[in-house]
Structure 1
Amino acid sequence: MNCYRIQRMIESTKGIVFQSVKYSETSIIVKILTESRGIQSYIIKGVRSKKAKIKTALFQPLQLLEITANHRENKDLNFLKEARVSFAYQSIPFDMQKRSVLMFLTEVLVRSIKEESANQTLFDWLWKSLIWYDLAASPGADFHLVFLIQMSKFLGFYPKNPERASGYFDLQEGVFINSEPPHPHYISGVFTEMFHQLLLTSFNSLGNLSFTSGQRRKLLNTLITYYQLHLTGFGELKSLEVLQQLFE
């Protein structure tokens, strides 16, 4: 008779909620980007019951948590034992524009980040970016554009020569070039200049951007195409139309 022992580890870590789905009448499964283990899925039993110690409200998209979980070796689904809010959003729950932006960013993040291993620099950047956006009194209408540009650094396809703004930007190769590429995935002219301006913009300098709604729509569509070209299975975004209507 073969006997073996399942290795278990109780671990506490920071986590950013990506999504939650109903598992049974009283339980849910949540996908969380953790600081220590990357993307992890957890089952939380009894969370939908009236006597639940952990409330479902904790698992709103992009909620910033401190969690304690029971990790089992080589298991895709583990058990969440404890969870509490690490940083309570001050403005996002009450601001329709910010909530809509976060809904869009949640979908982008779920489609972009798959790794089940720690990525400390990505996690720290995302954690700090969300807090910055919540605390910003007037972040403007272009936070999501700069967010997408900055995140491409951690995903491996940030433009290769950001210091050089040539006449064309090749979305397929991720590089500024002087002549039109032999494929349709590129931008040119004024939109190349605007795209380059995004590369030079930090969250704190968002106020320097002055795009029209049409330009903003074009830049967003360009960035989504850029992600689709570099991330297999990225697909079409369901939340895109809502976001575009918001900034018309």
Structure 2
Amino acid sequence: MMIHKTKGIVLHKIKYSESSVIAKIYTEQFGLQSYIIQGAAKKKAPVKNTLLQPLSLLDMVAYRKETAGLQRIKEMRLDSQFSTIPFDVNKSSVVLFLADMLYKTIKEEESNPAMFQFIENTIKKLDEKQTNATNFHLLFLVKLSKYLGFYPQGTYSITTCFFDLEEGVFCPHQPFHNNFLSNDLAKTLSQLLGTNFDNIDTLKISREQRKTILVKLIDFYRYHLANFGEVKSHEVLEEVLG
């Protein structure tokens, strides 16, 4: 057993006993890891339960044993303290949804520095953002797909006005199945592809378009990821964002 320092991002936690939890943490050094944290609910716990909020950014000192399914944490502290997310219902709802999506998406127990840095930097941008976050989750899902290996291909135009969700490509003809975007929704996806988080407020997406394209993006993930599972957290997010 060895001791390592690594950054981590909290994706999920479940209660293990009266005072202990198991946390799924996406780490910079080792990818997705499961940690058993004993006594987390106790007042004098060395690793406190309050640090394990969704998408918390952590500095960790952890024990690592190659053959162990559950790892252990020696020390843990916040790497970055959120200043707005805990106090903004829209942002906190976005965080809950993104944590759920990442939990269902990331399976690899290996380092992926580029994806870790993308997630870390994007969470910080959400916390720093001064205006509303109504389209933030849509852009996050589109950009994340690049690191997962199924980023949308091709470009939207008058002659390629359909997006095939199963094939992941803009195309000139309506696919022979129902899993596609057309017209305004395909154009909206194209706009998301050409947008970054610094100019996200230039996007003009109606409430109905936002709800529909979110469901379609979740379907897009389901078509391209094995054992993706069911997502319900978007329903709560839609209620909050309106």
Give the shorter-chain TM-score range: over 0.9
The corresponding residue for 1:234 is 228
Corresponding residue to 1:172 among 166, 170, 176? 166
Corresponding residue to 2:52 among 59, 64, 70? 59
Residues matched between the structures, number: 240
The corresponding residue for 1:201 is 195
The corresponding residue for 2:122 is 129
The corresponding residue for 2:69 is 76
The Cα offsets for residues 35-60 of structure 1, whole Å up to 9 and x where unpaired, read as 00000011112222232122110001
Contact 1:42/1:78 (<8 A) preserved: yes
The alignment status of 1:17 with 2:3, answered yes or no, reads: no
The gaps in structure 2 that reach 5 residues or longer are: none
1:111 counterpart letter in structure 2: K
- RMSD between aligned alpha carbons? 1.1
The Cα of 1:201 is off from its aligned counterpart by: 0.8
Q: Give me the whole-angstrom Cα distance separating, in 2, the residues matched to 1:95 and 1:232.
A: 34
TM-score scaled by structure 2? Answer: 0.96
**Which one has the largest radius of gyration?**
1
Q: Give me the whole-angstrom Cα distance separating, in 2, the residues matched to 1:202 and 1:138.
A: 15
The corresponding residue for 2:137 is 144
TM-score scaled by structure 1? Answer: 0.94
The Cα of 1:139 is off from its aligned counterpart by: 4.1
Runs of 4+ in structure 1 over 2 Å off: none
Q: Secondary structure at the match of 1:77?
A: coil
The corresponding residue for 1:3 is none
Q: Give me the whole-angstrom Cα distance separating, in 2, the residues matched to 1:82 and 1:104.
A: 27
Contact 2:6/2:59 (<8 A) preserved: yes
Contact 1:167/1:178 (<8 A) preserved: yes
2:125 counterpart letter in structure 1: W
The Cα of 1:15 is off from its aligned counterpart by: 0.3
Corresponding residue to 1:218 among 209, 212, 216? 212
